[in-house]
Structure 1
């Protein structure tokens, strides 16, 4: 029987975006159906395979995306979202494959489910771009999300603290305003996509907070204290308001966690 570690590695090394999305969903289905052994002998790559396009630029060199209702502005918005969700496939796969042996089958199930969700989100956004006469890869993007994952590859607590509990939680803050702007422009199909992503991301952050709490309990650490320490060590950025306190609370991330590190 093929191992789940081998299947995750193969998906991470798939460069084509459509094929990667399909591979991630297939790994999740095979794992849920019991067709993959709980084994992680296959080493994971330091960086996942990427397509030739989009061109990846340092965050500081990214062109500013103007808000507004122009066709170019709409394409830039949906392209940026598609890139986030594409990279999120690899973030979830790597989480399951890199820390699954340590954390157990339930952890693997949760983050493979996240990978499948992110693959579906990417597919919806790629289709949205096509309806606008564009495609994923048409504009440059940056790799800051994967940089955060690479920097925390040594410790599951650090990875959980930064990726679901900072980066994905930020999506809970900014998506509602984007959704309302899209809806106000008359784009109801786009609003439905964003609502689906927001609903799923609450669950994804909750997976992060739940497993982070379990790691803290096993290590005899106080969750809030350790989270703040890890964020200060490993997150190269600011935890900025405004915060969507209701969505964060639903995801198990109360204001008491992030108030002390918010800038």
Structure 2
């Protein structure tokens, strides 16, 4: 099934970048070379054939509403409880909009190359969690890789993983079946602070979830000033050499 829908989680307050955003703009509206992170994501998604882009908003949501004037493919749904929920709570807000479609799930504070999306879309597995080599960033998440192809334990501490692992990119392709399983797990757990990454980890006890580790992909989240400086000094210049703005 060719995936045509993407959900981008943009509800967070971005507290660790407040020295930069001054709380006047949402973090996804931070601009590099006059283009915001969120518009970069939207443009890349459209370039690979995505037809619906659902933004789950929260903090300063009116900024995202304006994007619908520029992009007819963009829809919004607000996480009214964004101050008290984590990423799975935001993803859950999109439940009623997905229908039967598979979806790409993305975090809103990412910068990445188009190839990252192509790796997901062209994967033969309907569920594909994109992992990379360890980037040594400031708040890395890692999945253990079981049997060379399935996600296992989720951790910050690599000492807890004895074998193969990959770093989360915040980019994944999810079948509708897996989305519904995540929504059900969120309801059952009754934990507002559950992140979607941990929700996936919990589901590994019930099903195999495929992961694809691709080394050399250009990407970064921008959670804090350390990551921002790394993007400005390393990642973005490399994107430019590949012809991506």
Check whether TM > 0.5.
no
TM-score using structure 1 length:
0.24
> Over alpha carbons, which structure has the higher Rg?
1
Q: Whose helix proportion is higher, 1 or 2?
A: 1
TM-score using structure 2 length:
0.26
Q: Higher relative contact order at CA 8 Å, sep ≥6: structure 1 or structure 2? A: 2
